Amino acid sequence: MLDIPKPLRLGVNVDHVATLRNARGGVHPSPVAAALLAIRAGADGITAHLREDRRHIRDDDITAIREAIMAPLNFEMAATDEMIAIALDTKPNAACIVPERREEVTTEGGLAVVGNEDRLTDLLMPLKEAGIRLSLFIEANEADIDSAKQIGADIVELHTGNYCNDLSKGRAELERIRHAAAYGANLGIEIHAGHGLGFDTVGPIAAIPEIEELNIGHFLIGESLFCGLEAAITEMRQKMQSSRYHNKLGY
Ligand code: PXP
C-alpha cells in the first residue's frame, strides 16, 4: 500500500511586522492584518512571541490576533509567571516555551529542559490543565526530548538555527535534527521545527517525515518586501510540499 506522508503545516511568525511598526510607533504595518493575509495565503496557523521587553509583539497584538483569526495561534513565551498568566487569559491553541535573554537578538538556543523538569512541570502544568497544547523549543538531542516527555509536553519544536546559519555544520546538524525527530515521534511527541528557515534551507527539513509543522517568520517577512507576503508564503509552501512529497512518492 502507498505510504502517504503526514501533512506538513506552516505557522507564520508575524513578530517582525510588529518590529517594523514599532520603528515609528504608529499602527502600520499591522501584525493582525499580516496574520489575516498569511492565513489567506495558505498559512495553517500564526505564531507570535511576546517577549519580556515587548520589543516587537505587544500584549494588545496577542489579544487582537487571537480575536481576528480562526486558525490556531501558537504563542511563544518564556516560562515566567507573567507569561503564563497572559497565556491562561488568551488561551492560544499552543504555548511554545522558549528560553529568553534580554541581550539576545533572537532566540539563540533551545530551552534547558534537562535538570529543570520539576520546576518546569510545576510552572507549566496550568497551561495543560487549561487545554493549551504545551510545546518546548529545544535543541535536537535525546536527553531534552526525554525530559520533555517527562514534563508532559505535547510537542517539541526542534531548533533549526544552527543548521540554517552555519553551513560548515549544516550536514551534521541536519542529521541531529533527523535523528531527534524520529526519536521524539517514537515517544509519541508531535514534532515541529523552526528558526532561521528560508527558501534555501527549508527543503531538507520539510523532507523529514516525522515533522508536522514548521514555524517561519523572519525570512518570510523580509522576503515580502520584494514580492509581497502572499507570494512569499505561496513559494514557501510549494517548497515544503514538493520536498515532502517528492521524497516519499518520487515525483
Ligand atoms: N520558532 C521559535 C520557537 C522561535 O523563537 C522563532 C523566532 O521567534 C521561530 C520559530 C521563527 O524563527 P525565524 O523568525 O528565524 O523564522
Question: What is 176-188 written as a DSSP string?
Answer: HHHHHHHHHHHTT
* Ligand 1 closest atom vs CA 137: 3
Asked whether the beta carbons of 212 and 178 are under 8 A apart, the reply is no
Ligand 1 site-directed mutation target among 17, 218, 219, 220, most atoms within 8 Å of CB: 218
**Ligand 1 surroundings by CB, under 6 angstroms:** 13, 15, 49, 76, 96, 98, 106-107, 137, 157, 194-197, 215-219
- The rounded distance, in Å, linking the Cα atoms of 77 and 48 is 9
Reduced to 3 states, what is the DSSP secondary structure of residue 173?
helix
Contact (CB, 8 A) for 36 and 64: no
Residues in the chain: 251
What is the pLDDT tens value at each position of the chain, 251 positions in all? 677 889 999 999 999 999 999 999 999 999 999 999 999 999 999 999 999 999 999 999 999 999 999 999 999 999 999 999 999 999 999 999 999 776 666 667 899 999 999 999 999 999 999 999 999 999 999 999 999 999 999 999 999 999 998 878 888 999 999 999 999 999 999 999 999 999 999 999 999 999 999 999 999 999 999 999 999 999 999 999 999 987 565 54
- pTM for the whole structure: 0.95
Atom 7 of ligand 1: nearest residue by CA position = 195
**Which protein residue's CA is at the shortest distance from atom 5 of ligand 1?**
107
Contacts of 250 (CB under 8 A, 6+ apart): none
Ligand 1 centroid to Cα of residue 13, in Å, is 7
Q: At the topology level of CATH, where does 9-249 sit?
A: TIM Barrel (3.20.20)
Query: 194: which DSSP letter?
Result: E
Q: What is the number of other CB atoms lying within 10 angstroms of the CB of residue 22?
A: 14
* Active site members: 49, 76, 195
Cβ 219 vs Cβ 197: under 8 Å: yes
Q: Measured from the CA of 218, which atom of ligand 1 is nearest?
A: 14
Query: What pLDDT, on a 0 to 100 scale, did the predictor assign at position 250?
Result: 54
pLDDT on residue 45: 98
Dmax (CA) of the chain: 57
Residue of the nearest CA to atom 12 in ligand 1?
A: 195
Residue 247: the pLDDT is 58
* pLDDT tens-place string over residues 19-57: 999 999 999 999 999 999 999 999 999 999 999 999 999
pLDDT confidence of residue 188: 98
Domain ranges of the chain: 9-249
Which of left, alpha, beta for 224 (phi over 0: left; psi -120 to 50: alpha)? alpha
- C-alpha span between 48 and 33 (Å, rounded): 13
